[in-house]
Each structure stands twice: as C-alpha cells, then as structure tokens.
Amino acid sequence: MGENNITDTKNIILEWLNKEKAPFEIDSDSKELIADLCVEWQYEKQNREKFEKEIDKIISELAKKQLESSV
Amino acid sequence: MRIERISIKNFGSYFEGPHEISMKDTSGIDGYAIFGQIGRGKTTIIKAVHWGLYGEVMASSIIGGKLHEKPRPYIDYNKQKEGLEAEGGWCLPLVNNNAFRQGFDEMVIEVDFEHEGSNYSLIRIAKPKVKNPKNDKNMGMEISLTMDKRSIEKHRIENTIEKIMPEAISQFFFVEVDNIGAFSELLFSSQNPSIVEQVELILGIPAIDKSEEDFQKKKNQHSRKRKKLMRDANKGKDVATEHATCEAKIEQAKKDIANYREQIDSLNHEIDEIDEKLEDEPTATDLMARKKDCMKNIEDAEIKLKEHFEDRRMLIKNGFWKVLVKKGITNAIERLTVAENRKEDLQKQINLEGIQRTHHNELAVDKGVDCKVCGNKTEGSSPDEMTKAAKKVIELDESIKSKQEEIDSIGRPGKEISGLAKIKTNVSLMAMDEIEFAIGRLETTIFNEITKKKAVEDELRNHDELSIQKMKNDRDTTMKNVGDLEGEEKAAIKILKIEEEKEDKLSTQLENAGTQSLQIKQLKAKIDIYNWLSDCFKKAMNEFKQEARESVQKIATDAFMEMETEPEKYDRIEVGDDWSVKLIEADGNVAPAGNPGTRQTLAVCVFDGLRRTSNLQFPTFFDNPGSNISDEVIQNMAEYFWRDNSSQMVMLSHSGGLKEEETIEKYGEKLSGAWRVVYDSESSSSIIEELLMK
C-alpha cells in the first residue's frame, strides 16, 4: 500500500482489473477511465444515475468493439 | 489544499470586519495555534471556513437522548430582534446579533487557499433581499471563486469545491470537540452504521463498493432486457411462454421474500421493545426474591445480635463489678498517688530541717577553740547568737515533729496503689466496647432491612403481575409469528431457487432456439463485462479494506504511543473489520475503555490514522482536542501534530488546554503563526490578535 501505508483506491482498482481475466480484451485506457470514474464519484451517495450512464457508455463501446472484431 | 487567508465579517461573534487570519508566510512550517477562552469565538473561525466552503453550518444537540441536527439559519428575528427564546434555541443564527439589530448590509466570509499548485480565492456573501429581513427567505447568497485570478463559472463553483474538499469528509479535517466526543463513543460501539459509513467514506471505500453495487444493478438491468428480447424473438414457442411464467414466479418469490423479511424485522423490533419493557419491570418473583433476601438478612442479624447479647451477659456475670468500680479505683489510685507524693515531700523537708537543726544546735553551744598546734584561735558564738540558735533548734524540733505526725497519719499509700492497680488491669472494658458497637451496628442493619422489606412489600402490593404476564404472552405470540413467517420465507426462498434454476435452463434453451440479434449479443457482452467488473471490485474491496484497516491501526498505534504518558502499559490499538476500536494492554488484555480522556485520545489517534491513510492533503483544524485529556497528553498531542508538516495543522485551545505563553515558549519554533481570540466589549465583537512568535 505505497511507501507510507497510504491507501490508493485507483491503483488497487487498476491492479485487480489487470489481474483478473476479462471476458475479452479490454484496453488499458478503458480500464483507466473506469477507475477514474469510480474514484470521481465516490462521495456521491444518492444521485448515481450520471455515474451509471457514463460507465454504461464505456461498457457499450467495449461491447460494440468486441462484436465488430469478432465478425 | 492549504488555507492561506480567512476573512470574517458579521459572522457569529464577529461584528463588522474584516477580521483576518493570514497563513501565507509559512517558512516551511505549517503548524498554527489559536488561543482564547471558552466562548470568545475560536470555533466560529472553523464554522466560518465551513460556511465559506459549503454555504451551510449544521448545529447539533442531544435532545431526549437523541442526536438532532439542523442547518443554522442566517437570522432569527424573534431571538435577535425581540430577544425571545425561539423553539430550538440551540440552533444559533449565523449573522452577528449586533449587525442584525443595526440593519447589516452583508455577512462575508473570504477564504484564500492553494490546491495542487493553483491559488483559489473564495468569497461567500449572505445579504438581506429586503430592508428588514424577517427570516431566511428574505436573505440571498452570492458566491464567487477564482482560480489563479480567473473566475470560475457560478454553476461550477460548488462542484469545484466539492472536488477539492468533499463536504462529506470535511468533519475529519474540521475537528470540533463535539466530533471527538461523539466519535470516541461510536468507536467503542461496533456495528454502528453511521461510523462505518463515515470511516469508509474518508478512506475512499465507496469508490469500490458503491461502484460494485452499481455494476450489479446494471448487470441485472441488462440481463432482464436481454431475456425479454430473447423471448420476443421466440414469440409463440413454448419455451418463451414457459420462460415468461418462470420469470413472473421469480419476481413474485422475490416480492414475497422481501415482504416476509419486512414483517419479520418489524416483529423482531416489537420483541425488542417488549424485552426492554420487561427488563425495566421487576417480576413478582424478583420482588419475592428481594423480600426473601431482606428477611434472611434480618434473621442473620438477629442471630448475631443474640450472640452479642449473650457475650455481654457473660461479661457482666463473670466480673462486671470490676467494670463498675473501675472508675472508683482509678480515682482512689489518683488520690493515693497524691498522698504518696506528699509523704515523700514531707520526708525530704524533715531531712533538710534535721541538717539545719544540727547546725543551729552547734551554734547554740559554740564557745570557740584554741589550737594547740598552730596557736590559732577561732571565736565562738556570742551570747545573743547562742540564744537565737537555741530558739531556732526548738522551732525546727516542733516542725519536724509536726511533719512526722502528718507522715504517720498518711500511712502506706504505695502499697495500696500497687494492690488497686492489679485489679484495674484485669478489667476487660475493651471487650465490652466492642460488644456494644457490634450490637449497635446489627440493630441498624435490622432497621434498614426492615425498611427495605417494607418497601418491597409496598411494591408487591402495587405490582401488576397481570400486565407483565400479558407482555410475556404477547412476546410469545410475536415469537411464534416470527417463526411462522421465517418458515414462509424459507419456503419462498426454496421456490425462488427452483425457479431460478429452471429459468437458467430455459434461458439456455432460448439462446439456442434461434439466431440472436445484434442487440442481444451486445447485451450479452455488456453483462459479461459487468460480471467481470463486479468480480474484480469485490476482490479489490477485500484487499483494500484489509490494507486500510492495517494502515489505520499502525498509524493510530504509533500516535497513541507518542501521546500517552505511560506507553509501556499498552501494546497496540486494534481496529476491527467493523472499524470498532480496542486498546490492547502490554499483557494482551483489552484495556477497559471507561476513562473518557483515554477514549478521546484514542479517537484523536484513529482520526489521525484515517486522515493519513486517506492520503488527502487537507488543512486540519483541531478545536479543543479532548476536553477530558490530561495536560501532559495534550502537550504530547500538540508536539505530535505540529512536528508533521505534511499538511496544515491549526490547533485551537481554550485556557483549560494549551496555555498560551507556555506553548509559545515551548513550541514556538514549530509554529508558523499564533493568534489570540478575545471578546472586545467596546466594539461588541470577537477580535483576533496576532501573537509574536519567538
């Protein structure tokens, strides 16, 4: 957890996204984008619709790319 | 983020203004102190910064054992103008009283701060919209924020501040004594959802767990949508109809389970309430037991009393006459001692007079002597002297005779004294004293127990055994209902499981039933990604929580060892999975957390552990850290916080905490600035005076 025992949420998220096998190839920019969004919205408890929308946009794009590449 | 300037006008106890604190010149040191007696306006500085940043200041009060919180109003017409005590008087208005009475034009807070290399200047103003504002509806608020002298658009200001320093975690940086007190209580009561939420918020845990919840939600949404699309694609086929029925059953089972759970929780709550009432209500059995105890105590005391009476009787029987004559013996011994002393005195006088008589007798017959050897001649007494000496001899003879007669009349008191003394020492008066004391004590015990017994008997007479029995019956019935509902819930869970398994098979059949549209395929890919994300985040969560907990534990322990006056007594601070805190002693036992000073010190250390673990570089305002903490620990605390220059640390202390002169003398080198807050009656305002540093 860093040099001084300090937590870094984003790094831990990225570490696990890289460690666990994804259902298909997910580029590092998208992973970074997902981690950033999660950290950015961490203090928002109630109105998370915008977060969901933004995440879904990234995921839709990934799914679309995957289908295009598999055709 | 570090605050460089605070300016206050017409806020709280600060009338007119600006009243300023500048923390620009740090010379690499970021420790500050603000001194002032209680009620002079120290905490108002923190409130002012908070209002400047977030436009709201909450007031809290414990009423009827419950914590109440509400935003402080700008003005309170009844209180400030009419002097009336409004309902909820603990919620003080923000605008200065004098300013309000004199028709103020504005209340202004300015905060200049630096964040990630940029300089920000924030101005928040509250202004009356009408000439004589009566309530907050008549007030307006304006805000402006510049970043490196460039204005930030109005609609983006709140969001910008929230990104720099989120309000939700601000209480970990604007630490008021109330926070510490409340936090120290919460720390020791595990499973408190409020504390868990706050702690996890500052550590950034919601970035993982909230996101994971959202991923699950999205996955379920897409999954439902995909299944519907697949059913539509296979419309008319049995598998589609069956799948739709199955899904309806699943929905129904889920609703049933939620419904049963709600009822079970509500009934369990009722049981808890009955239990609480029953705990307060003594049963007839309890009362009878108490009465029995009283009777037993009376009986025991009476037996002992009887024994002591017997002892007293025996003591009187076997020589109590000695007790009765003891005082007379003592008096007699005293008188005999006086006589003995007189006898000795008279004897001494007789001896002296005997010597004098011999001398005078020689004078009465002395005719002089001629020495035949040396020829010297001594002169004898004259006839007058001889007559005088003879008279003296007669006088002395009479005196000796009279004294001898007195001695004879005194007899032998010494012998009598020794006889009486033997009798006196044999009398056991002490034993009698003890017996009398024990008897008195037992009689008091019996009286008290009889009073207690009477009170229990009264309680028994007024006791409503029927209502207690009714409560017990209600409890039993409710318990039975809970049991029944749990059975229903179990059955619904079983149905859900069966239907889910069925639905799973039907879904596979649906998938294989025909070609899938692109939309269905896309949804499948999205569900797979959400599944993967959810999995990753769950694992990240476990690791993150564990590491964060260990970090908080380590930092808090190090801080505690440095602040505590007897660190050798302790081994560590242990932070549980639910963020509850235990102090472990050197011998491995859990230290009792009864001392409020220790609890507050622990809370400060855990606060610091959370603050540092969060890696958020925010200024920290510590207001009167721990009212119950000893002077020595407070000093260690100041030393600990001021030594660390990783973030700005402002300690506010009243006269009962850090002493102004002593602190400047001792920690002057570690401070970049210090102020004294006083109340100036002439200007009817709190005033901030800068103190000269060493």
CATH architecture of B305-441: Orthogonal Bundle (1.10)
Chain B residue with the nearest C-alpha to that of A12:
B540
| DSSP structural state of residue B645 | -
Of B163, B528, B537, the CB nearest to A23: B528
* Top CATH class, B191-228+516-612: alpha beta
pLDDT confidence of residue B338 = 92
pLDDT confidence of residue B322 = 65
Q: Report yes or no: B50 and B134 within 8 Å, Cβ to Cβ.
A: no
Alpha carbon distances (Å) from B393 to B346, B359, B524? 18, 9, 151
Measured CA to CA, the distance from residue B676 to residue B654 in angstroms comes to 10
| Residue of A3, A4, A5 best to disrupt the B interface, most CBs of B under 10 A | A5
Q: Strands (DSSP E) along B298-376, which ranges?
A: 368-370
CA-based nearest distance B532→chain A, Å? 6
Strands of B620-623's sheet in order across: B174-175, B620-623, B649-653, B31-35, B673-680, B685-690
pLDDT for B577-607, tens place per residue?
A: 878 888 899 999 888 766 777 877 888 888 8
Measured CA to CA, the distance from residue B261 to residue B255 in angstroms comes to 10
- For helices B596-614 and B177-187, the axis angle rounded to 10 degrees is 100
- For helices B383-410 and B320-365, the axis angle rounded to 10 degrees is 170
For residue B369, pLDDT over 50 is answered with yes
Q: Are B528 and A34 an interchain contact pair (Cβ–Cβ within 8 Å)? A: no
Listed residue (B445, B464, B441) closest to B293, CA to CA: B445
pLDDT for A34-71, tens place per residue?
A: 999 998 888 877 788 999 999 999 999 999 998 888 76
Task: Provide the 10 A C-beta neighbour count for residue B66.
Answer: 7
Mean pLDDT of B482-490: 95
Measured CA to CA, the distance from residue B426 to residue B362 in angstroms comes to 56
pLDDT for A16-42, tens place per residue?
A: 999 999 998 899 999 999 999 998 888
Of A12, A40, A64, the CB nearest to B544: A12
pLDDT for B114-164, tens place per residue?
A: 998 999 999 999 999 998 888 889 999 999 999 999 999 999 999 899 888
Residues forming beta bridges with residue B126, ordered by sequence position: B107, B141
| Residue of A14, A43, A55, A69 best to disrupt the B interface, most CBs of B under 10 A | A43
Q: Are A63 and B525 an interchain contact pair (Cβ–Cβ within 8 Å)? A: yes
Q: Report yes or no: B165 and B1 within 8 Å, Cβ to Cβ.
A: yes
- For helices B177-187 and B193-203, the axis angle rounded to 10 degrees is 110
Q: Is B539 on the interface with A (CB under 8 A)?
A: yes
Mean pLDDT of B545-567: 91
pLDDT for B489-529, tens place per residue?
A: 999 999 999 999 999 898 888 877 766 788 888 999 999 99
| Residue of A37, A59, A70 best to disrupt the B interface, most CBs of B under 10 A | A59
Q: Is B536 on the interface with A (CB under 8 A)?
A: yes
Residue numbers in B near A33 (CB within 8 A): none
Chain A residue with the nearest C-alpha to that of B201:
A43
Of A9, A22, A66, the CB nearest to B208: A9
Of B214, B544, B612, the CB nearest to A52: B214
Q: Which residues 19-38 in chain A show a CB within 8 A of chain B? A: 19-24, 26, 34, 38
Q: Are B543 and A16 an interchain contact pair (Cβ–Cβ within 8 Å)? A: yes
Measured CA to CA, the distance from residue B129 to residue B106 in angstroms comes to 10
3-state secondary structure of B360: helix
Residue B68 host element (H or E):
strand B66-71
- Domain extent listing, chain B: 191-228+516-612, 235-282+463-513, 305-441
Measured CA to CA, the distance from residue B488 to residue B155 in angstroms comes to 53
pLDDT for B214-272, tens place per residue?
A: 999 999 999 989 988 888 888 888 888 898 899 899 999 999 999 999 999 999 999 98
Q: Report yes or no: B597 and B612 within 8 Å, Cβ to Cβ.
A: no
Global pTM exceeds 0.90: no
Mean pLDDT of B374-392: 78
pLDDT confidence of residue B615 = 74
The model's confidence at residue B465, banded by pLDDT at 50, 70 and 90, is confident
**Which pairing describes strands B150-151 and B174-175: parallel, antiparallel, or unpaired?**
unpaired
Q: Which two tokens stand for residue B245?
A: 């029925």
Listed residue (B571, B561, B693) closest to B633, CA to CA: B561
| Residue of B160, B161, B211, B613 best to disrupt the A interface, most CBs of A under 10 A | B211
Percent of chain B with pLDDT over 90: 36
Q: Is B615 on the interface with A (CB under 8 A)?
A: yes
Chain B residue with the nearest C-alpha to that of A48:
B214
